Chains A and B, each alone.
Chain A
C-alpha cells in the first residue's frame, strides 16, 4: 500500500487549463469577486468538452470589462470596437464556416451600443455563439446605467434610480427566432458550461445571457458590495425553469422576485449558411 501522507494544500504555479488561457497575462485585470473569470473558466471547459479542436475556435469580444475576455483565452482572439463584435464575427463566420466563432461581450456592448447588430444577427441566424455577460452596468467606464440596468437601480448616471425599464434579453432573442436561448449565472458553473457546449453544437445563433456579479461597480451602488452578497442573491432568488414563459423572465432584482434561469429554447432553424448555399445554387455556382 502507498504510504500515508499528511494532507494539505499544494502550492503550484500552473493549472491544468493553462493550455487554453494566456497564462502569461494572469492575474487578469478584473476586480476581486467579478464573475468574468468564472465565465472564462466555463468557456474554456466548454471548449475542452466541445469535440472541436481549439485551433478551430475563435473568440471575438468588444469593449468593456467583458471585452477583455478575448485577451485571456489562448485561441485566435479578436478584441474589436465598442458594440461591434457580432458584426465582426458574422464576417468571419460567413467566409470561414468551418470555424466555431464565439462572441463574449458585455450587456452594454452587445445590446446597447451594439443592439442593432445583435437583432439582425439573430434574425439572419448566423451560426455563431453569443455569450452575453450581464452585470447590469457599464463597469469599466465607471458604473453608468445601461439598457439592462433594472428599473430603479442606482448607478453613477442614475443617482435617483434608473428611470428606464431594462431589456428582457431571453425574450428578445427568442422573439427574433434564435435556435438556442439560455440564461445562467456565474454561480451555476456546470449548467453554464453545459449550455456553452450545447451552444457550440447548435446550428445557428446560440444565445446565453450570463448574470455576473459586479461587486465593485453595480454592487457598490446597490447594496451588493461583496461577491458573497451576489452568491447569496443567486442562491436565494434563482429558479431554474427550462420551460418558463419568457414574457415573465425580466429581471427586477427586487426582493422576492426571482431570477429565472434555464435552457429556455433549443430548436432547429435554417442558418444563414444553409440559405446562402441556396443562393449559390440559384446563381449557378453549386449544382
Chain B
C-alpha cells in the first residue's frame, strides 16, 4: 500500500529529480512502519537491529538508496522525529 501517483506532468523528463539522503535516529524509532509503508518508491524496509526499547528501526533496502526522491513523506509522517531527509545533488552520488 503506497500513495498512488495519479497524474504525470508533461515536462516530466525535463525535471531534475532530487536525491534524498536518509538520516535515521534509531533510539527514537517505535517501529510503527509508517515510513516504510508510505514511501512512494519503497526505499525503506524493516531493519534487523533493535534499539534499547526493542524496536527495529528502518533501513534502506538493498540498492534502493538512489531511488529516494526527497519527497519527505517519511520525515513528515514519522511520529517520533526519528527520520529525516537531506536533499543532495544527484550528480554527486549516482
> What is the interface of chain A, defined by CB distance below 8 A to chain B?
1-2, 4-5, 7-18, 21, 23, 26-28, 30-38, 40-42, 45, 186-187, 189-190, 193, 226-228, 231-232, 235
Known: A2-B92, A231-B38. A12 touches B32 (CB 8 A): no
Interface of B is mostly: mixed
Binary contact readout B24-59 vs A (1 if CB under 8 angstroms, 0 otherwise): 111110111110011000000000000001010011
Give the docked Cα–Cα distance between A227 and B92 (Å).
Answer: 37
Contact present for A32 and B32 (CB under 8 Å): yes
Contact present for A9 and B33 (CB under 8 Å): no
Q: B63 — nearest CB in chain A belongs to which residue?
A: A7
Highest count of chain B CB atoms <10 Å: which of A27, A37, A190, A227? A27
Contact present for B24 and A11 (CB under 8 Å): yes
Give the docked Cα–Cα distance between A189 and B72 (Å).
Answer: 10
Chain B residues whose CB sits within 8 angstroms of the CB of A33 once the complex forms: 30, 32-34, 79
Number of residues of chain B lying within 8 A (CB) of chain A: 38
Contact present for A7 and B93 (CB under 8 Å): yes
> CB within 8 A of B93: which of A5, A11, A21, A186?
A5
Known: A30-B79, A228-B37. A4 touches B93 (CB 8 A): yes
B91 within 8 A of A: yes
Q: B51 — nearest CB in chain A belongs to which residue?
A: A27
Chain A residues whose CB sits within 8 angstroms of the CB of B22 once the complex forms: 9-10
Q: List 29 A-B contacts (CB under 8 A).
A: A1-B91, A2-B89, A2-B91, A8-B59, A9-B22, A14-B25, A15-B23, A17-B81, A27-B53, A28-B80, A30-B79, A31-B30, A32-B55, A33-B30, A33-B32, A36-B79, A37-B80, A38-B79, A41-B79, A186-B79, A189-B73, A190-B76, A193-B76, A227-B32, A227-B34, A228-B1, A228-B34, A231-B37, A231-B38
Chain B residues whose CB sits within 8 angstroms of the CB of A13 once the complex forms: 25, 27
Give the docked Cα–Cα distance between A227 and B37 (Å).
Answer: 10
Give the docked Cα–Cα distance between A17 and B80 (Å).
Answer: 11
Q: B64 — nearest CB in chain A belongs to which residue?
A: A7
Question: Which residues of chain B from 69 to 94 have a CB within 8 Å of any chain A CB?
Answer: 73, 76-82, 84, 89, 91-94
Smallest CB–CB gap between A186 and chain B, Å? 8
B17 within 8 A of A: no
Known: A37-B79, A187-B77. A228 touches B33 (CB 8 A): yes
Contact present for B76 and A42 (CB under 8 Å): yes
Chain A residues whose CB sits within 8 angstroms of the CB of B58 once the complex forms: 9
Give the docked Cα–Cα distance between A185 and B66 (Å).
Answer: 30
Give the docked Cα–Cα distance between A17 and B76 (Å).
Answer: 11
Q: A12 — nearest CB in chain B belongs to which residue?
A: B23
Q: A236 — nearest CB in chain B belongs to which residue?
A: B1
Give the docked Cα–Cα distance between A76 and B66 (Å).
Answer: 41
> CB within 8 A of A227: which of B33, B60, B91?
B33
